[in-house]
Amino acid sequence: MTLSIGIPRALYYYRYFPLWDTFFKELGFDVRESEVGRRGLIEKGFKYADDDNCIPIKMAFAHTLGLRDKVDFLFIPRLLSLDSKTCFCPRTAGLPEMLQYSIPGLPPLLDPYIDERYRNTGLFRSLSEMALNLGKSSREIKHAYQKGERAYQLFCKRMAEGERTPELFERVQKKPLTYIKDGFVKKIAIVGHPYCLYDPYFNFDLLRVLEEAHATLYTQEMIPKAEMDSKIREFGKEIYWASGREILGASLYYLDSNEVDGLIYLTCFSCGVDSMIEPLVRHGVKENGRTLYLCLMVDEHTHSGGFLTRVEAFLETVERKKANRRNG
Amino acid sequence: MKLTVPHLGYIDIFLGSMSRAVGPEFVFPPKTSQRTLSLGVKYSPESTCLPFKFILGNFIEALERGADTIAMISDRGPCRVGMYDVVMQQILRDLGFNFTWIAMDNTRLWSNYFLRFDQERKEWGASVWETLQALRLSWKKVRLCEAIEKRVHKIRPLEVRRGETTRALVECLRLIDGASDFRELRESREQCLEKLDHVEKDPSRIPLKVLITGEGYMVINAHANQDMERRLGEMGIEVTRTMWITRQITHALHLDFFDPRSKRKAIKASKPYLKHNIGGECNASIGYPILFKKEGFEGAIQLLPLGCMLEAVAKNILTRVSREHDIPVLAFSLDENLSETMITTRLGAFVDLLQKQRERRRSG
């Protein structure tokens, strides 16, 4: 009988899923991800979470609850850092315990301790330790990890080319632009944590809404690493949050290159990282003076109507500005 | 150079005493007031945490008073305090202030701070011996302040006339701050103890014991936690808190082996509940209630600024700790919309609960 491992569709699932998925499948496990967010499911999970948590964490509670009775193990990595400079939000570091203590009757958790910065247990070491405990040989593990790594590289490459990879985000597919209003394509850069950007339940399918409104999307994944590093160096202070660094680097890159017409920052209520990065991005926008900026904050009570109205208004402003510029 | 720092516990007494002896000149922000908070709230990004708002307000008021250099700690994560420096500098420069910013992080500690301090010392004309003496005096002052405060925590629930102890404490702190050498400090110590002895007490009361734990800034600063210690004391509760400047410094210097309530021991106590030290005060917030329960404390209050990343983790886990160690924990997640009524009502209910618990334990 093959053991099944459940992966909640939450947090860094949206970045590292290809790796995790391939890794476990190669090792012969049956990987089950939680269902795509549904209102009833998510709200049931919210009841278990403390109200001081941010929504992405509450979503993790909900998705974990959804998997509770279906799998033998739950994979909740304790993500602290993946390189020597940056770390992740501390909430993800305490997630395994938070889940364990709040939701009764969970299957055993697999919580590899991923901390490259202080303990030198990077992704490979921590995952292989975990798999060794599950009774796999180190040769198998190495092979599986290499495959996973390749899948992740491919995923990154496709993301960089502006594709929403079908296996992850099958609901959002890039459509050819058949109709271009006034001969213009709106170029919109969109930044935020991966779990804000790519979770269609969280952001009311914002990416699809934007694409349907004939916007070409530019994301933080499209920027080469060297460019990102040079932008941060120019900025002067090393940003120590991995996603914060990416967001700021991408925003500054798009602002400086004048490649885009508008910049959207998608954030969630009570996010500590965004509360520090957003003012910096806003400051950059003010200094730049040409790019339009919209900061969208989502909380439990955000209604799709109000949210999408703001997006539409923003898109119209972008369009009008472009038209004005063309006319005179 | 007119240096300023934000208010944090007795740090102003410590640095004030240092600066009088060996420089440099300090311009302390005025006592944190409602104006400080409104200034902070007005110019801070909306979703930053409460300490950010208080500290920004402190800096604005200090710059208005003529300070031209700001010293502020910095960090490499994961708490957002490490990013304060960039964001605050931007805000203050946009407001039109001119200043030098000294970001005190733990990289290149020696070259950045000690050498700099040494240079300042030479310019001021103080010898190394004088500096060491000043350091010792300032350290003793802070120790004394904290000892007095710990005594006040014990006396306050017993006082007969409400507010008498608090008045005595204010006088004591003024006395200690005024002492300029070791002899005067000894004298002021005697005077302080005498003052506290004079407070009329009712020895028949057996106060409940409550621990205040949580995020450091909120715990240590009375202005941030709405004078929680005084309020509880006047309700007849003996309180103590987890965060003391000296404890924090000895912890940072790894000199706290003999302190039974050291942060290291708290972190160790939290191990069964949170396997890894995730930084900040998170682990200590979980560990302290366990430690203090063993010392006979009957309840704990966790203070956290709204949206604090680390303490939110602690809050989740404390519910479990509370259940398993049978110690009620009340969590206050505070932001700038503080309402006195909310705080007194919740504290009142919590105290009632503790009282009931005690009665139940006595009877059975």
pLDDT in tens, B263-313: 888 888 888 888 888 877 888 888 899 999 888 898 999 998 888 888 888
- Between CA B330 and CA B350 the distance in angstroms is 7
Beta-bridge partner residues of B212: B241, B301
Tell me whether residues B312 and A237 touch, CB distance under 8 A.
no
Sort out which chain A residues have CB atoms less than 8 A from B108's CB and list them. Answer: none
Region B170-197 average pLDDT: 91
CB pairs under 8 A between A and B: 122
Taking 70 as the threshold, does the pLDDT of residue B107 lie above it?
no
Q: Is residue B240 part of a domain?
A: yes
Tell me what percent of the residues of chain A surpass a pLDDT of 90.
Answer: 8
- Between residues B95 and B254, which one has the greater pLDDT? B95
Residue at which a domain ends, from B72, B102, B126: B126
Residue at which a domain ends, from B184, B204, B224: B204
Q: What is the pTM of this model?
A: 0.90
In chain A, what are the domains?
4-159 (3.40.50), 165-327 (3.40.50.11900)
Torsion sign over Cα A26, A130, A122, A101: positive
- Between CA A88 and CA A12 the distance in angstroms is 10
pLDDT digits (tens, 9 = 90+) for A248-299: 999 999 988 888 888 999 998 888 889 989 999 999 998 888 889 999 988 8
Taking 60 as the threshold, does the pLDDT of residue A174 lie above it?
no
Domain count, chain B: 3
* Cα separations in angstroms, A322 against A89, B250, B252: 38, 60, 56
Chain B residue whose CA is closest to A79: B278
Q: pLDDT tier at B3 (50, 70, 90 boundaries)? A: confident
DSSP state of A301: T
Q: pLDDT tier at B110 (50, 70, 90 boundaries)? A: low
Region B225-239 average pLDDT: 89
* Cα separations in angstroms, A23 against A91, A95, A140, A195: 25, 22, 10, 21
- Between CA A8 and CA A76 the distance in angstroms is 8
Q: pLDDT tier at A164 (50, 70, 90 boundaries)? A: low
Q: Is residue B185 part of a domain?
A: yes
Taking 80 as the threshold, does the pLDDT of residue B364 lie above it?
no
Tell me what percent of the residues of chain B surpass a pLDDT of 90.
Answer: 29
Q: List, in sequence order, the alpha helices (H) in chain A.
A: 13-26, 39-46, 55-67, 90-93, 95-102, 123-133, 138-160, 194-197, 206-212, 225-235, 242-257, 272-288, 304-327
Cβ atoms A127, A82 nearer than 8 A: no
Region A157-174 average pLDDT: 59
Taking 70 as the threshold, does the pLDDT of residue B163 lie above it?
yes
Helices A272-288 and A242-257: crossing angle in degrees, nearest 10, is: 10
Q: pLDDT tier at A237 (50, 70, 90 boundaries)? A: confident
pLDDT digits (tens, 9 = 90+) for A200-224: 888 888 887 887 777 888 888 888 8
Helix (H, G, I), strand (E, B) or coil at A89: coil
**Tokens 């949050």 found at:** A241
- Between CA A156 and CA B309 the distance in angstroms is 29
pLDDT on residue A171: 40
Region A303-317 average pLDDT: 87
Region A143-166 average pLDDT: 80
Chain B residue whose CA is closest to A114: B276
Q: In 10 A of CB A119, how many CB atoms?
A: 14
Q: pLDDT tier at A176 (50, 70, 90 boundaries)? A: very low
Which H or E run includes A221?
Answer: none
Q: pLDDT tier at B60 (50, 70, 90 boundaries)? A: very high
Distance of CA A308 to the CA centre of its chain: 20
Q: Which residues contact B215 (CB under 8 A, 6 or more apart)?
A: B51, B280, B281, B285, B303, B304, B305, B308, B310, B311
Chain A residue whose CA is closest to B271: A97
- Between CA A143 and CA A133 the distance in angstroms is 17
Same domain as B216, residue B187: no
Tell me whether residues A52 and B306 touch, CB distance under 8 A.
yes
Helix (H, G, I), strand (E, B) or coil at A238: coil
Sort out which chain A residues have CB atoms less than 8 A from B273's CB and list them. Answer: 97, 101
How far A275 CA sits from the closest chain B CA (Å)?
5
Q: Is residue B276 part of a domain?
A: yes
Q: pLDDT tier at B109 (50, 70, 90 boundaries)? A: low
Beta-bridge partner residues of A190: A219, A264
- Between CA A96 and CA B353 the distance in angstroms is 31
Taking 90 as the threshold, does the pLDDT of residue B111 lie above it?
no
Look up residue A100 and give its amino acid: Q
Token pair belonging to B100: 């030098």
Chain B residue whose CA is closest to A55: B307
Residue B308 sits at the chain A interface (C-beta within 8 Å): yes
How far A203 CA sits from the closest chain B CA (Å)?
19
Which of A78, A237, A282 has the CB atom closest to B276's CB atom?
A: A78
Taking 90 as the threshold, does the pLDDT of residue B57 lie above it?
yes
pLDDT on residue A173: 42
pLDDT on residue A172: 40
Same domain as B108, residue B212: no
Tell me whether residues A90 and B310 touch, CB distance under 8 A.
yes
Q: Is residue B350 part of a domain?
A: yes
Same domain as B148, residue B6: no
Region A86-110 average pLDDT: 87
Same domain as B343, residue B303: yes
Same domain as B212, residue B299: yes
pLDDT on residue A328: 65
Same domain as B57, residue B93: yes
Sort out which chain A residues have CB atoms less than 8 A from B82's CB and list them. Answer: 240
Region A15-34 average pLDDT: 86
- Between CA B261 and CA A154 the distance in angstroms is 52
Residue at which a domain ends, from B75, B93, B126: B126
Domain region containing B337? 206-364
Q: Which residues contact A198 (CB under 8 A, 6 or more apart)?
A: A14, A164, A168, A169, A207
Question: Strand B69-73 and strand A78-81: pairing?
Answer: unpaired
pLDDT digits (tens, 9 = 90+) for B316-351: 889 889 989 889 999 988 888 878 888 899 999 999
Average pLDDT, chain A: 83
Residue B330 sits at the chain A interface (C-beta within 8 Å): no
Same domain as B174, residue B94: no
- Between CA A209 and CA A296 the distance in angstroms is 14
Same domain as B171, residue B210: no
Same domain as B78, residue B157: no
From first CA to last CA, the distance across chain B in angstroms is: 65
How far A93 CA sits from the closest chain B CA (Å)?
7
Residue B142 sits at the chain A interface (C-beta within 8 Å): no
Q: What is the ipTM of this complex?
A: 0.86
Region A220-233 average pLDDT: 87
Average pLDDT, chain B: 87
Sort out which chain B residues have CB atoms less than 8 A from A94's CB and list them. Answer: 274, 278, 282, 313, 316-317
Torsion sign over Cα A272, A299, A232, B40: negative
Q: Is residue B134 part of a domain?
A: no
The string of DSSP letters for A110-174 reads E--EEETTTS-B-HHHHHHHHHHHTT--HHHHHHHHHHHHHHHHHHHHHHHTT---TTTSTTS--
Helix (H, G, I), strand (E, B) or coil at A237: coil
Look up residue B42 and give its amino acid: K
Least Cα distance to B26 among B59, B1, B58, B53 occurs for B1
φ/ψ of residue A224, rounded to 5: -60, 150
Taking 90 as the threshold, does the pLDDT of residue A113 lie above it?
no
Task: Label each residue of chain B as H, E or C.
Answer: CEEECCCCCCHHHHHHHHHHHHCCEECCCCCCCHHHHHHHHHHCCCCCCHHHHHHHHHHHHHHHCCCCEEEEECCCCCCHHHHHHHHHHHHHHHCCCCCEEEEECCCCHHHHHHHHHHHHHHHHCCCHHHHHHHHHHHHHHHHHHHHHHHHHHHHHHHECCCCHHHHHHHHHHHHHHHCCCHHHHHHHHHHHHHHHHHCCECCCCCCEEEEEEECHHHHHCCCCCCCHHHHHHHCCEEEEECCCHHHHHHHHCCCCCCCCCCHHHHHHHCCCCCCCCCCCCHHHHHHHHHHHHHCCCCEEEEEEECCCHHHHHHHHHHHHHHHHHCCCEEEEEECCCCCHHHHHHHHHHHHHHHHHHHHHHHHC
Taking 80 as the threshold, does the pLDDT of residue A167 lie above it?
no
Phi-psi region of A244 (alpha: psi -120 to 50; beta: other; left: phi over 0): alpha
Q: Is residue B135 part of a domain?
A: no
Same domain as B262, residue B329: yes
Token pair belonging to B35: 């104006």
Taking 90 as the threshold, does the pLDDT of residue B56 lie above it?
yes
Question: Strand A4-7 and strand A73-75: pairing?
Answer: parallel
Helix (H, G, I), strand (E, B) or coil at A311: helix
DSSP state of A4: E
Look up residue A156 and give its amino acid: C
Which of B52, B79, B83 has the most A C-beta neighbours within 10 Å, making it the best mutation to test the interface with A?
B83
Q: Is residue B133 part of a domain?
A: no
Same domain as B255, residue B179: no
How far B68 CA sits from the closest chain A CA (Å)?
22
- We report the CATH number of the domain holding residue B222 as 3.40.50.11900
Least Cα distance to A65 among A27, A30, A35 occurs for A35
pLDDT on residue A44: 85
Same domain as B339, residue B226: yes
Q: Is residue B131 part of a domain?
A: no
